[in-house]
Amino acid sequence: MATPNFFRIFTSMANKKKSPKIVREIQNNPPEPVNFAFEKNISYSQLSMYTQCPKKWALQYRDGHKVREQSIHMTFGTALHETLQMYLDVMYNKSGAEADRIDLEADFETRLRDCYADAYKQNKNEHFADAQTLREFYSDGVEIIRYLKRNRGKYFSKRGWSLVGCEVPIVLAPNPHLPRVKYMGFLDVVLYHEGTDKFVIIDIKTSTRGWNDKAKKDKSKQHQLVLYKKFFAQQYNVPIDNIEIEFFIVKRKLYESQDFVIKRIQQFRPPSGKTSVNQATKSLNEFMDNCFTSEGYNEKDMPALTNNNCKWCPYYKTHLCNETFEK
């Protein structure tokens, strides 16, 4: 079966230079894609939406009332992801000097324009940001890029490290009772250190001013990477104890302070031991058991969880959802 387009970024990295055997094996053996003719796919985004509101998940994914919500924050995040991934690809597979010669600011500008144009079309040709806002987000991205290039060695080392890939695919059936429901995900960056035989799965997050303690303790955020760790181990036959996970949080804005230097990047490694893996797995299994059967979707009515998030929901106060939320 031909490798589909969404595996191209990952598999293009194979054989660019001599890499450790385990890295080459992973790169040369991507999983089979979901067969949408008779299989259902789920993602962490679906699990997160179901946890927020089961009815919203049902309307969006099961019942065909899909609404793709666009925002400049999402567009900015996508463009910056792609630029940073391209930079790391060149750095690890060619050289740091060659990576530094790339005009990253121009690359980011092109990607931001392209991402906005695509989102504009998906938004029924309606703008969701004005020119001034786009210029502001572009300038923020440039500051992030400049900071990373100046401080690359603090965050990404080539000493003993290899790039397994960007957008590393995961496609597997996590629940043996539901073999036709496949979990599909793409890992932003995966690195391998030959000396310690350790992998690091990195998830890039863009944030206005970074994560506070409450955000870091948010299980809905932590469980995404915890599940990626579990499924990467299963997908590529890697010991789970040899995998570490990290959120690479990029700040768009900085608080002004004369007392200390504020960094543009936060690195946060959430708990990912056996207890965390079991908690994340339990949450996923509850979602799958409630929403799927061996034949496909469970067609039962899904409850709406009314709370302050309702006012941001595209289905709120429409014919699809007559729930009301009162403070």
The rounded distance, in Å, linking the Cα atoms of 29 and 165 is: 12
State how far the alpha carbon of 256 is from the alpha carbons of 138, 260, 261, in Å. Answer: 20, 9, 9
Average the pLDDT over 149-166 and give the result: 96
The rounded distance, in Å, linking the Cα atoms of 184 and 173 is: 9
pLDDT band for 192, please (50, 70, 90 cuts). Answer: very high
What single-letter DSSP state applies at residue 262? P
pLDDT in tens, 78-109: 999 999 999 999 999 999 999 999 999 999 99
Task: Kindly report whether the global pTM for this prediction surpasses the value 0.75.
Answer: yes
β-bridge mates for residue 191, sequence order: 163, 200
In a domain, 6, yes or no: no
In a domain, 54, yes or no: yes
In a domain, 299, yes or no: no
pLDDT in tens, 247-284: 999 999 997 764 556 789 999 999 999 999 999 999 99
In a domain, 8, yes or no: no
In a domain, 183, yes or no: yes
Retrieve residue 148's tokens.
């990373």
Number of domains forming the structure of the chain: 1
In a domain, 309, yes or no: no
In a domain, 153, yes or no: yes
In a domain, 4, yes or no: no
State how far the alpha carbon of 59 is from the alpha carbons of 51, 53, 183, in Å. Answer: 14, 10, 19
* Domain housing 235: 22-27+34-293
The CATH number of residue 97's host domain is 3.90.320.10
